[in-house]
Amino acid sequence: MEIPLSRPDINEDDIQAVVDVLRSPILALGPKMREFERKIADYTGRRFGISVNSGTSALFLCMQALGIGPGDEVITTPFTFIASANCILMAGAKPVFVDIDPVNLNINPALIESKITKKTRAILPVIVFGNPAGIDEVCRIAKKHNLPVVEDSCEGLGSVWKGKKVGSFGDLGTFAFYPNKQMTTGEGGMIVTDDESLADICMSLRNQGRGKGSGWLSHERLGYNYRMCDINAALGITQLNRLDEFVRRRSNVAGMYQKRLVDDPRIIVPFAPPGAVMSWFVFVIRLKDRYADHRDRILDDLRKQNIGVNNYFPPVHLQPFMVERLGHKVGDFPVTDSVCRSTIALPFHNNLSQNEVDIVCNTLKACLDKV
Ligand SMILES: *Cc1c(COP(=O)(O)O)cnc(C)c1O
């Protein structure tokens, strides 16, 4: 039997909520969409929530809402999911990468200022794997330089840093609800902000450029269709009702892994940083020294034994199309390079059992023994 890398947690309330929408006359732009937006905004302590069809769309609309385009630069991390950098390219601007902190794996705030130029228009930090460490420091630097922050909190819904929810640090925050995230709507995303004019622009951009209260066929600006439908939103509401329980369960699973792996000298085990409540997105260990040289073989070996694993993340700046556009090479971001070649994301979801954690850890240790 396979132990999957991730698995959504869908119960009868979720199913009933979706069925209820299907039995109603309103499937889109309806009450469930608005309720889900209100609830995510309230959960993260923000004034506005704007639902969209993916986390990637959320990030892209943030770029558009800030007027970022050709000739502009946006500072971000090369250790992330590709969408964090693609949204910048899709807007016609240039991603400027900054290397990461070797402990929390987020953008290294100490390296940001040297990359700020006259063309810099925003900073886009990522809450990598749900770890919020350093996000306040990034915002402090941005403020000093009068730059807006787009917080890619797509992996961080539910995390708290120094008493503040993730998604509430940047001028704009973004969430994603793909089935491997902490909570899901199938596909979906959300922008959160306290800025009413940015919220209005995002709402208009995701809805064919329609203005607030203007008619169905009146379009104030160039927009597109990035809307989330009420079927997805209804699932989002029931999932959000259980999010705090999900965060607790995930933290419990992380604890089981930590206990089983912390004493193994071949592995770096992740822990929540002091000062955080961490909403774990995935559980990513790192192999030390010579074991990292064999990471890809170990991934194959684990997969052959039905353990779902992956190499979160390959370096964004070395993806072929990025190299073509930006000309980066191995060595440009040494911490990212060394982290990327050593990571293994282990199976991780709300309902992983102690027995499954034991199987994963025993199999992993046996694979390491063979190296
Ligand atoms: C998941 C994710 C996104 C967006 O995901 P979608 O699949 O488009 O919903 C963006 N950034 C990061 C860091 C992510 O992990």
pLDDT at 72: 98
Do the strands 172-176 and 150-152 form a parallel or antiparallel pair, or are they unpaired? parallel
Q: Has residue 226 been placed in a domain? A: yes
Residues 201 and 270 in one domain: no
Q: Is 76 a pocket residue for ligand 1 (Cβ < 6 Å)?
A: no
pLDDT at 61: 98
d(CA 199, CA 62): 10
Q: How much distance in Å is there from the Cα of 196 to the middle of ligand 1?
A: 24
d(CA 316, CA 189): 21
Q: Which residues contact 96 (CB under 8 A, 6 or more apart)?
A: 73, 74, 75, 76, 115, 117, 120
Mean pLDDT by 10 residues, the chain (371 residues): 96 98 98 98 98 98 98 98 98 98 98 98 98 98 98 98 98 98 98 98 98 92 98 98 98 98 98 96 97 98 98 98 98 98 98 98 98 92
pLDDT at 48: 98
Return the half-sphere exposure (C-beta side, CA atoms, 13 A cut-off) of residue 89: 15
pLDDT at 64: 98
Q: Which two tokens stand for residue 9?
A: 């947690």
Q: Is 54 a pocket residue for ligand 1 (Cβ < 6 Å)?
A: yes
Which run of H or E residues covers position 231?
helix 230-241
**Which among 211, 243, 200 has a CA at the least distance from the CA of 48?**
200
Residues 41 and 184 in one domain: yes
Q: How much distance in Å is there from the Cα of 263 to the middle of ligand 1?
A: 32
Choose the final residue of a domain: 197, 222, 241: 241
pLDDT at 18: 98
Please choose from 81, 86, 183, 280 the residue to mutate so as to test ligand 1's pocket, defined by most ligand atoms within 8 A of CB.
81
d(CA 11, CA 165): 26
Q: Has residue 271 been placed in a domain? A: yes
pLDDT at 1: 83
Q: How much distance in Å is there from the Cα of 266 to the middle of ligand 1?
A: 30
Domain around 261:
244-369
Q: Is 233 a pocket residue for ligand 1 (Cβ < 6 Å)?
A: no
Q: What is the CATH number of the domain that holds 341?
A: 3.90.1150.10
Q: How much distance in Å is there from the Cα of 220 to the middle of ligand 1?
A: 29
Q: Has residue 2 been placed in a domain? A: no
Q: Strand pairing partners for 285?
A: 344
Which run of H or E residues covers position 345?
strand 343-346
Q: Has residue 5 been placed in a domain? A: no
Q: Is 56 a pocket residue for ligand 1 (Cβ < 6 Å)?
A: yes
Residue with CA at minimum distance from ligand 1 atom 6: 55
Residues 253 and 328 in one domain: yes
What distances in angstroms separate CA 255 from CA 86, 244, 251, 260, 309, one per listed residue? 34, 17, 6, 9, 18
pLDDT at 206: 98
d(CA 203, CA 100): 33
Residues 222 and 274 in one domain: no
Residues 155 and 267 in one domain: no
Q: Has residue 7 been placed in a domain? A: no
Residues 291 and 360 in one domain: yes
Q: Is 155 a pocket residue for ligand 1 (Cβ < 6 Å)?
A: yes
d(CA 356, CA 10): 20
CB atoms within 10 A of CB 166: 27
Residues 90 and 51 in one domain: yes
Residues 152 and 179 in one domain: yes
Query: Strand ranges (DSSP E) for 87-144?
Result: 94-97, 120-124
Residues 173 and 277 in one domain: no
Q: What is the CATH number of the domain that holds 199?
A: 3.40.640.10
Residues 199 and 257 in one domain: no
Q: Has residue 123 been placed in a domain? A: yes
Please choose from 6, 40, 53, 56 the residue to mutate so as to test ligand 1's pocket, defined by most ligand atoms within 8 A of CB.
56
Phi then psi for 75, rounded to 5 degrees?
Answer: -85, 130
Q: Has residue 339 been placed in a domain? A: yes
**Which among 129, 116, 77, 120 has a CA at the least distance from the CA of 269?**
129
